[in-house]
Chain A
Amino acid sequence: MKINLFRAADGTESGGGADTGADVRTAASRAMSVPQPRSNGDAPVGPTKIAARDVSVSYGDKQALFDVSLDIPDKTVTALIGPSGCGKSTFLRTMNRMNDTIPGCRVTGRIEIDGEDINAKSIDPVLLRARVGMVFQKPNPFPKTIYENVAYGPRIHGLTSTKAELDEVVQSSLKRAGLWEEVADRLHSPGTGLSGGQQQRLVIARAIAVNPEVILMDEPCSALDPIATAKIEELIDELRERYCIVIVTHSMAQAARVSQRTAFFHMGRLVETGSTEDIFTNPRERRTLDYITGRFG
């Protein structure tokens, strides 16, 4: 009797259909059924969501970015890594025009989101920031209640018309941010009373309440302890199914864990970009290798 023992859980056959003398039961049980993980390199990268071409940024006389061209795919986590002062945060902030708020800041080049140039005169930065949300390094919930924090975005953009709708948006945002269970019974207590990790998840809930397309994260875990960091990383993994996520991090380990694409910046220039697996196992550029292995300086 030919028994195909090597049918794995994903349905692919491995054996040649030959007889074996081995114990059918144990060999079959050995092919444990495991769900296919959402592992980093396997998931296909989405279409390009943000396209930057020759972007340069200067603050007064000092130039911070030199001709950066980068494509950022949708439904993917892209990590921007590099040493301090390399311009990764500056580049991140060009994508929601937060650099506009800094006096003396000049941005040249073209940044397109879904094909639209976001620096065009016709684009209102206020609306842009409803499509591109941001999470900062230090959790900065408003000094209001948890409910008010999450409801703020939908309110000022007029996204809901009744209180019931607003309640629904708040609840679903908190659920998606993985915070609902912990705060469902104290929605009207101040947001600043939560722990650091909870505050950061609140800030993420606030950002996703307006249903953005892109979420920018500027070192979101650098102020958090390892457990809170792990929770946020798991959250990022879940969020990437819906949003395009760009994360700046000075922890290479975090970039390796969390992202599918990585871009390495150095002294205002983009040195190398590629899949995270390639960058961390075999980068093309010498500078990238030196940075990742800690041979800098």
Chain B
Amino acid sequence: MLLKIAWRNIWRSRRRSMITMSSILFAVFFAVAMRSLQFGTYDRLIENVVNSFSGYIQLHQKGYWDDQILDNAMAVQDIPELISREIEEVIGVYPRIENFALAASNEKTRGVLVVGIDEGQAENMLGLSTKITSGKMFTSASPGVLIGERLAKNLRVSAGDTLILIGQGYHGRSAAGKYPVSGLISFPSPTMGSSLVLLPFSESEVLFSTFGLATSLVIQIKNGKDVTNIRDKILALTDSSSIEALTWQEMMPELVQTIQADSSGGMIMIMILYLVISFGIFGTLLMMMNERQYEFGVMLAIGMSRLRLIGVLLVEMIFLTLGGIVSGVLLAMPLQHYFKANPIQLAGRQAEVMESYGWEAAMSSSTDLSISFTHAAGVLIVTLVISLYAVFVLSRIRPVEAMRP
């Protein structure tokens, strides 16, 4: 019975109901929009950073991550083919050899980290050919090294010069090699730019005597969200007693913390937004109660119990709230997908800075459903709390006064 009255009330004054519902709709819409943009941008950031070096998941010999020495390299065998074949979310498995060495030019010597990568990784994952500022990419036909601009400056070399790498290889064998500098790379971070030397994977095998081995297998996946799942699948496929698989969060806890730190500022922004939207809903409700005073007075005067009246109103609010929430979420969804595919491009100084780090200067949106759910629930709670005001008003209405025009 209550339901019927509530339903009729809603349709009786469509305008009023629309206005009320839309205040809730927009509340949800804006909350979801803001949080989606925040999270989307973080996701993009993670993608950029993770793809630019570490990869989402890495496979190593068990114990390598804690003791990163060449002697702890793993046997590659057929693991890459196995993983690519069995797990469809994986789009690439790339072997890598990393080891410290001394780089010497004609004039200077510097300690460097030598990273042996194959062409697949160089192109598909690191996108190196777009980052080369001078010279060109190394190929199997013309092997050489790629070094950061800063390192080139420190060593006083440029593309075409020769670089010597010496150090220790696998099982104590000495490592020494002479390579032409194929090209210079603009690396995002100064540390990387002054200490990385990239070498074709096959050359690094010769240099360090690591045939058939890799210090890590870097795994590229389609959807960053599934990291932990995919990692577990990989472990199930391989010999987990001798292989370890780490996610980027485990490898780069500082990045996780940086994002958390930034997100805390974002949280506060959302709280401020909630303040604004709560007030918006409240204002609308206030006006609605005000507008319907006459109606309430009449209802009470003709004998409806106060409690029932409150009940009717609450049911109305519930209907409107649910309607508002659902439509708010539905309205937000296409936007989420649009901005995920077409991120908001930033320009100006901020963009320059981000690009100098090798990141896209753009704000993307997340399409994660949990955001919609969270804020639908949030606004629901807010609205219900605000509805208590309506209850309060109704409990105090004096019919005679209310009916005065």
- A and B, one complex? no
List the interface of chain A (C-beta within 8 A of B): none
List the interface of chain B (C-beta within 8 A of A): none
